[in-house]
């Protein structure tokens, strides 16, 4: 996949480059960094001040309400750190995949939109098509029925 992305950018970038619609830029993204003194990754929500490249995860929430969501009461904690062990399997796999492709940001609707804030949800949901369109890559977890299942 890494080679496909490199080929895309090198040989037909004009057809693959995101449209850069500033209105469709996500308000929040998951930032992925490697921990220096510990194993694993540091994950947190960030609000980029400039346009950045990001990946998206398209996934099925399943029958139950997604247990791993951002709501008003946990937003400030999620801006500092999202514990790896609290992330469902599908999200962990998407984050590792994103990092291995040298990308620093991932957009997942359930984490990047404040689910119990009508104003935030309305603003971000109306941009959703553009958010996916402007992503450098969208991971489509079509085999997973919910976020507890595997992407691959």
Beta bridge partners of 44: 31
Instruction: Let me know if residue 145 belongs to a domain.
Output: no
pLDDT tens track for 90-129: 999 999 999 999 999 999 999 999 999 999 999 999 999 9
pLDDT over 90 (residue 11): no
The C-alpha R_g of the chain, in whole angstroms, comes to 15
pLDDT score recorded for residue 152: 78
Q: What are the C-alpha distances in Å from 12 to residues 16, 45, 52, 103, 140?
A: 7, 32, 20, 20, 22
pTM attached to this predicted model: 0.88
pLDDT at 111: 96
> Does 79 reside within a domain?
yes
For 67, the domain range is: 2-140
- Asked if the structure places residue 85 within a domain, the reply is yes
In the predicted structure, residue 21 carries a pLDDT above the cut 60? no
> Is position 32 within any domain?
yes
Residue 22 has pLDDT above 60, yes or no: no
Domain count, the chain: 1
Q: To 10 degrees, the CA torsion angle through 64, 66, 72, 73? A: 80
* Assigned domain for 149 exists: no
CA dist 98 and 53 (Å) reads 11
Residue 112 lies in a domain: yes
Q: What whole-number percentage of the chain has pLDDT above 70?
A: 87
The reply to whether 74 falls in a domain is: yes
Asked if residue 73 belongs to a domain, the reply is: yes
């Amino acid at each position: 996949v890494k080679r496909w992305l490199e080929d895309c950018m090198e040989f037909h970038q004009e057809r693959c480059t995101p449209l850069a619609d500033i209105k469709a830029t996500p308000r929040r993204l998951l930032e992925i960094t490697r921990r220096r003194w510990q194993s694993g990754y540091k994950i947190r929500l960030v609000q980029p001040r400039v346009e950045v490249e990001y990946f998206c995860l398209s996934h099925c929430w399943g029958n139950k309400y997604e247990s791993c969501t951002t709501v008003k009461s946990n937003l400030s904690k999620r801006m500092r750190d999202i514990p790896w062990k609290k992330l469902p399997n599908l999200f962990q796999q998407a984050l590792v995949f994103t990092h291995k492709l040298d990308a620093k940001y991932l957009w997942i609707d359930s984490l990047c939109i404040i689910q119990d804030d009508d104003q935030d949800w309305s603003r971000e949901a109306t941009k959703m098509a553009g958010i996916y369109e402007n992503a450098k890559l969208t991971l489509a977890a079509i085999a997973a029925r919910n976020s507890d299942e595997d992407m691959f």
